[in-house]
Amino acid sequence: MYKTTQQSDSTTYLIFFLLFLSIIGLESCKTYNPMVDKQDKQPESREGYKEEIPATDITFDMVMIPKGTFIMGSPDSQKDRNVDEGPMKKVEVDAFYMGKYELVWEVFELFYTQNQKHFQTLETDKLHSVDAITRPSPPYEDPSNGMGKAGYPAISMSTYSALVFCKWLSTITGRFYRLPTEAEWEYAAKAGTNTAYSFGDEVTDLDKYAVYYKNSKNQYAKVGSKLPNQWGLYDMHGNVSEWTMDEYREDALAITESKNPWVKPTSIHPRVIKGGSWKDDAHHLRSSARFASSLILQKRDPQIPKSFWWNTDSSFIGFRLVSPKTEPSPEEQKQFWKTVLDE
């Protein structure tokens, strides 16, 4: 009688245990979704890929940023808000891939003329296309300012230099790469939130997510040294500020379209810089904060005219790659490079 009761109890415990495991399994399968309209389809699942640069052993990671809508800009009530962060507007953004980290020196320096020899094994047509792309002139001084290169974000390049690099990388890999638009950047930084930072409004939590003036020890850090945001992107707040494709306009949110907005550039400056850096106070790292580039970034450059490639005084600015999920056609790509590089 005791044996039968014991077996019955064991069976009951087993059933409860299996039910517990199934509940835990269901909880672990939950995913984070961006804000989307109820009438919109469910956003694509977050996924990505690892890009392998031909003729090298160097790779970098790209994260899927799903299609969705978000509120661009910041509310009047947000502390330290600037007038150019409004009026707030609802913006729709198509899906794209974004660099998991800020672009590092190991990748950017492959673009240098002295490294051209590494790619002689490419197919003839691709090799000719790569060889036709002009490479950066030597910088006036060490563009890393002696802060380190291995694993650190590439800095001090102009937007022109960053965009020519993107064209070179697109040619090398066969996949279209560019800088993010300001809207894409802010959408990715907010990662479904409406708070000052992707983790909330409290500056006391910033140390966990960002390298900035308070904790930087007066230099940048290796990429990924802090926690990522909800979409798996590192250093969206701080470490180095990041170039976008947009020309800076104070009234940009008032004049741009609601779907995939982009203020197309008409000159080298001013361009929109986002994210804040190791040199900045906390409020400059807010997701909606925006800054304009200027000739001050080349103040110490003695060249006449000033370099198209390097900004001597921008050791706090780098960039992050974007690749649209739906790639533009060859004709559209050609028109794009003509627009952004004045070809």
Residue-by-residue pLDDT tens, the chain, 343 positions: 334 444 444 444 444 444 444 443 433 333 333 433 333 333 444 689 999 999 999 999 999 999 999 999 999 999 999 999 999 999 999 999 999 999 999 999 999 999 999 999 999 999 999 999 999 999 999 999 999 999 999 999 999 999 999 999 999 999 999 999 999 999 999 999 999 999 999 999 999 999 999 999 999 999 999 999 999 999 999 999 999 999 999 999 999 999 999 999 999 999 999 999 999 999 999 999 999 999 999 999 988 889 999 999 999 999 999 999 999 999 999 999 999 998 7
pLDDT at 59 (0 to 100)? 98
233 DSSP assignment: -
Of the chain, the end-to-end C-alpha distance in Å amounts to 91
| Single-letter code of the amino acid located at 50 | K
pLDDT at 47 (0 to 100)? 84
Question: Backbone phi, then psi, for 228, in 5-degree steps?
Answer: -80, 170
CA–centroid distance for 274 within its chain: 10
For helices 159-173 and 330-341, the axis angle rounded to 10 degrees is 160
Q: Write a three-state SS string for 296-329.
A: HHHCCCCCCCCCCCECCCCCCEECCCEEECCCCC
pLDDT at 229 (0 to 100)? 98
Number of H helices, E strands in the chain: 7, 10
For helices 159-173 and 124-131, the axis angle rounded to 10 degrees is 170
- Is the distance from CB of 293 to CB of 159 less than 8 angstroms? yes
pLDDT at 46 (0 to 100)? 62
pLDDT at 24 (0 to 100)? 38
Q: What would the two tokens of residue 341 be?
A: 């590089």
